[in-house]
A and B are shown apart, each in its own frame.
Chain A
């Protein structure tokens, strides 16, 4: 063996060792087959389609958050106009980002312009089309983009906190990068995502508000009518949780008139925990504690309103409206037919914070663990079975050279798997498709080379030069086929989504390692064989 060939084999051996290390680590002797399998399973990450688990795609309704900002601006502008004695005919929100102000008094329109441009810097003022003395106040596009980004970041954070609090194993929470405002949640091993879904979706917006009118009403209209069609300033009508007052009756909704501004919001909470209900045995309630700063507000408020009612509003719905019996410093209770689990979930949601906007589920895939196990077993069994058949055939057809091809194929698979383990790539069902194409093209590369060598031998060349020419000629073809496929795989990776990407990743890795094994390794083995055999002997091909 000459020194160049020796270095080639040292390099190949190093690659093999590195791959084995990547796949199963350093085996501790004595090692068992089960231990090797366990190590392998730890290193090759399986996708949800193979492992089982839930895959959720949800969309954050970002426009809601933008609309909310718009509502706030309407309130603030109205207040400022009032203070500055600027009279306008009408001010209302047109859509999520536009406010229409009509009939601004011509004498004060200068003051109006100044107000908007000085105090509402996030907004741009333009004259309204077709209106005299009318203006459109529009949110600046950069501000819209900011809100969009902040809302998404906050939603991701909140959902992450909630999922982590559920204590599930290795969840993935990330932007999908696919559609707008989409978040991907993957819960490996979770066969029933119902609870996780409801915890994610819960708004979690807690508000404590003063009840403005001690009465409750059967409908919104009745509430409005009792005040002559005009609500007291700064108040709003909020629907209550429907509860049947008498046995046998279907629950009737109840309406409350509350102060618009909350005394306490979810951000003021220090903690929330479930506890068995003290009033209704068998049921649970959620007890919450306030931060020091908000307790300093809450104490005086409750003292001033003893005998009045206070509403506990969760996601714009009144849960309970108890009468304040005495000064309360820093704690409260949410009652309402909770089971232990739902009380737990609500506490968790309150602790994790509110979502900045509501969410909608776009996609849910749940693969049961048994189906995932079946897919692996059947897929792997079928793949191994067919690879063995192919290898046997190669040895029969090409004799000793066939052994060479078998070595190259096996090494190709080893490198592919090891690289996936190193890169932390996830093996999915479409990924297995990539493996199959890799094997197909690996067989093809060997066949191309061997057929070429046979051709050269037939034309009367000596074994050594036939091998050299065969590899050289086939090299160009192999490069062309591989580069073409890699080019397409790169495009698939760039423009495709999940499954298509999984296919592209395994394919690229597999093809790169195939170029190495079917040209470099296979050639080295041939050279080694040629260096040992008699110059006149026939090549076993």
Chain B
């Protein structure tokens, strides 16, 4: 099977359309960023408190808002989210965020406590009865409790066996019931959960109809520090790539590749703003992935240009680049298509935690592929034209140049 054979497209002749398209995308994205007052950073980078809560049923957003207002936390944000794009109806999860600008770290911790207090006061049933909440118990505390109660009347290895039982019970809670058990009888299929064990659980625990899935508290100073370090690491990585490509090819190839990659990141950030995604540490990982991916794509084309230059010494440089892109087009479409497929699956099925990450990848794969022939290649062509030598002899690696010069003599 084969999709493309003997393609003959004048890519460089269309370079101005590509550049125009990029400029439009950049303008639209960054207009959105400016209108939103800058990039939307996640709690990691901004500093603040974030509590991710799951309810047993649809999340009572209005009640939460009232509770928070009554506790003097009116400036908090409440965002209800669904766990799966394909299953948009189950809005059981809520993210409550409080941003603290320029306040002390103690205030951050206090706001986390305040949010938890509001939730417990509004929806909690566990603490009032003097019982602990089963949905937030850790396996080790559960094991301690079971060992103390000894509902199975074990004499030997009691600690070990209750440890395992506690692990199985919490596993069942977390994996089969999404972290929320609404009735202790739901656990009766767990290996070792005899009626005695279940009644011991009922004695010691209550079931809140919500559970805390994730808490993040980040001091504003740390946020700024993390942001600076992520940006610095990325810039150093780009510089490293530039040096290596300059060493293997010529410096203009390195510069073109890095500009193209930079262009990809800027456009992806624009899309983030348009679709209201926040930039978190995981998203940085996605941006780095897309940098690697786009760079890979660009080098494949450049490599072919270098090779073709040795064979086509008389042809205009733009012609050589066109041929290289056409020759690698089949590979480009195939690889990009498959990678796109991978990240699309991740975006649709990967769950909430991976959502922003896979979104960056979906956008990045498309933009990264396009920028290789749409941005990086035209820059090299343009540079060669500017140097006044439209012929291939000027390009190629430094070693090649010497070979060419020797051949002329």
Contact = CB atoms under 8 A, between A and B. Distances in A.
Contacts of B105: 360-362
Nearest to B232: A495
A491 interface: yes
B140 A481 contact: no
Residue with the greatest number of chain B CB neighbours at <10 A, chosen from A373, A444, A502: A444
Contacts of B330: 451
A481 B173 contact: no
Contacts of A362: 105, 218-219, 221-222
Contacts of A480: 248, 299, 303
B300 A481 contact: yes
Interface residues of B, number: 89
A373 B213 CA distance: 11
A486 to B, nearest CB: 9
Contacts of A484: 241, 244-245, 295-296, 299
Q: Is the interface of B mostly helix, strand, loop or mixed?
A: helix
A370 to B, nearest CB: 3
Contact of A377 (B175, B238, B300): B175
Q: Is the interface of A mostly helix, strand, loop or mixed?
A: helix
A390 B338 contact: yes
A371 interface: yes
A455 to B, nearest CB: 7
Nearest to B351: A378
Interface in B49-91: 52, 54, 83
A39 interface: no
B98 to A, nearest CB: 14
A379 B179 contact: no
Interface in A351-374: 360-371, 373-374
B105 to A, nearest CB: 5
Given A189-B139, A484-B299, A488-B292, A369 B179 contact: yes
Contact of A444 (B233, B241, B331): B331
Contacts of A381: 349
B335 A444 contact: yes
A223 B215 CA distance: 45
Contacts of B241: 484, 487-488
A149 B239 CA distance: 34
A21 interface: no
A462 B281 CA distance: 51
Contact of B230 (A377, A436, A500): A500
Contacts of A364: 109, 112, 215-218
A372 B217 CA distance: 18
Contacts of B226: 497
A529 B248 CA distance: 34
A158 to B, nearest CB: 20
B182 interface: no
B212 A500 contact: no
Nearest to B236: A491
A396 B1 contact: yes
Interface string B284-317: 1110110111011001100110010000000000
B302 to A, nearest CB: 8
B238 A379 contact: no
B341 A503 contact: no
A393 B341 CA distance: 11
A477 interface: yes
B345 interface: yes
A368 B137 CA distance: 10
B139 A389 contact: no
A489 B295 CA distance: 13
Given A433-B357, A485-B292, A496 B229 contact: yes
Interface string B338-368: 1101110110111101100100010000000
Contacts of A413: none
Given A191-B136, A480-B299, A370 B173 contact: yes
Nearest to A56: B217
A436 B364 CA distance: 13
Nearest to A488: B237
A190 B138 CA distance: 7
B203 interface: no
B199 interface: no
A49 B44 CA distance: 14
Interface in B85-134: 105-106, 109, 112
B7 interface: no
Contacts of A366: 212, 214-216
Interface in A214-258: none
Contacts of B351: 374-375, 378-379, 382
Interface in A406-436: 429-430, 432-434, 436
Contacts of B222: 57, 179, 362-363
A476 interface: yes
A234 B385 CA distance: 85
A437 interface: yes
Contacts of A440: 293, 296, 335, 338-339, 342
B225 A179 contact: yes
Given A382-B345, A440-B335, A485-B295, A371 B52 contact: yes
B237 A492 contact: yes
A246 B164 CA distance: 51
A439 interface: yes
A448 interface: yes
A489 B245 CA distance: 15
B331 A483 contact: no
Contact of A441 (B239, B285, B296): B296
A454 interface: yes
Contacts of A477: 299-300, 303-304
B235 to A, nearest CB: 9
A460 interface: no
Contact of A436 (B171, B331, B342): B342
A441 to B, nearest CB: 6
A397 B1 contact: yes
Given A396-B1, A503-B289, A189 B219 contact: no
A37 interface: no
B138 A191 contact: yes
Question: Nearest 10 pairs between A and B by C-beta?
Answer: A370-B179, A378-B351, A430-B285, A488-B237, A496-B233, A370-B174, A364-B217, A386-B342, A495-B233, A386-B345
8 contacts: A57-B222, A370-B211, A375-B351, A381-B349, A494-B236, A497-B229, A499-B282, A500-B288
